[in-house]
Homo-oligomer: A and B are copies of this chain.
Amino acid sequence: MKTLLDVVRDCDNFPYAEDTDQVYEQLRSSLWKFYLPEDPRPHGLMVDSVVEKMPWTSNFRVIRKPIKEVHLIQPEGPNWQEKCTQIIEQQVELAREKGVFPALGKTRHEIFPIVGANFSVGIDRSAFSMLGSIGRGVHMTVYTRTESGLKFWIPQRNFNKAYGGLLDNTVAGGMALGEKPLECLVREAEEEAGMSEELIRENARAVGTVTWMSVSDERARGQAGLINPGVLYVYDLEVGPEVVFKVVDDDVYAFHLMGTEEVKRAMLEGRFKPASASVLVDFFVRHGIVTAEEEEDYTEIVSRLHRKLPLPTSSQP
């Protein structure tokens, strides 16, 4: 049986400098930092197997020593910022044509932003994790109070999806380029759970972020071994017993109404998508369901739920 700390570590599984200077340093120095033009801050952490196989065009500069870096070269002209998304797309398309990455699927026509960039730039969802940039999304936990304690509306993911069959948060989705967290939540809550914009804007409560750094495995159904730093904007929504969730979307197989102990057991048995389990652990901490008295890893769990990422999360002032 897992512990709650194991559950959080399943999502946040990249080593910490604070724990093991040496392992952390080895892993960090094995990664390639990805840079955008006119910005000294890295925006991605790419692995050898991506950088070495990628058929780099002259739009990129690959530096091997003394530090491993990949730079998108500043395009010509005054509005060069607008060309960057297209340049990245062309690069991914070339790799797709050459078939160098078997796990790289078709274009999803959904552009995810490069978080923290000083201008609007993104990359198609299909290739996003190859860049090792910060993935950003929203998660909302919907719960109701009953005589036997809190109950949670927990969807089970459809079996044809990544993390198929696993449990999830009531509403969960990735933020599109240019989208703000609440705006994204309103869209996803309607698409995935048929909830009205009014209900969300009036009753959903922003309660912080959950952040992590993970190394991808086979459950994500893409290439394994990629670096995935993540930020989730977290919301709570309490509803009355009259609210019942039904499947309105292909992403969800079924909605379950689960009590606190049932959710905890499912987490410890690994039946949740890892990031979704972390968001629920954070809920349990904030609502006093998990306490320092009963959970000896309490402080460590809370810290790991809010990892400081090694890439910028906001644009430069």
Residues of A within 8 A of B (CB): 16-19, 21, 24, 28, 180-182, 205-209, 211, 231, 233, 285-288, 291-293, 296-300, 302-310, 313-315
Whether B180 contacts A293 by the Cβ 8 Å rule is yes
A211, A296, A313, A315 interface centre (most CB from chain B within 10 Å): A313
* Inter-chain contacts of A305 with B (CB < 8 A): 306
Q: A209-B298, A211-B302 are in contact. List 18 more A-B contacts (CB 8 A).
A: A16-B308, A181-B293, A182-B292, A205-B287, A206-B285, A206-B292, A207-B286, A207-B288, A208-B285, A208-B302, A296-B314, A298-B314, A299-B309, A300-B314, A302-B306, A303-B306, A303-B309, A305-B306
CB distance from A16 to the nearest CB of B (A): 6
Complex Cα–Cα for A74 and B41 (A) = 47
* Inter-chain contacts of A206 with B (CB < 8 A): 285, 288, 291-292
Select from chain B the residue with minimum beta-carbon distance to A18: B310
A297, A305, A314 interface centre (most CB from chain B within 10 Å): A314
Select from chain B the residue with minimum beta-carbon distance to A138: B292
* Inter-chain contacts of A208 with B (CB < 8 A): 285-286, 302
A sample of 27 cross-chain residue pairs with beta-carbon separation below 8 angstroms, ordered by A number, consists of A16-B308, A18-B308, A205-B287, A205-B288, A206-B285, A206-B291, A207-B285, A207-B286, A207-B288, A208-B285, A208-B286, A209-B298, A209-B299, A209-B302, A211-B302, A211-B303, A231-B299, A233-B292, A296-B315, A299-B313, A299-B314, A300-B313, A303-B306, A304-B308, A306-B306, A307-B308, A308-B308
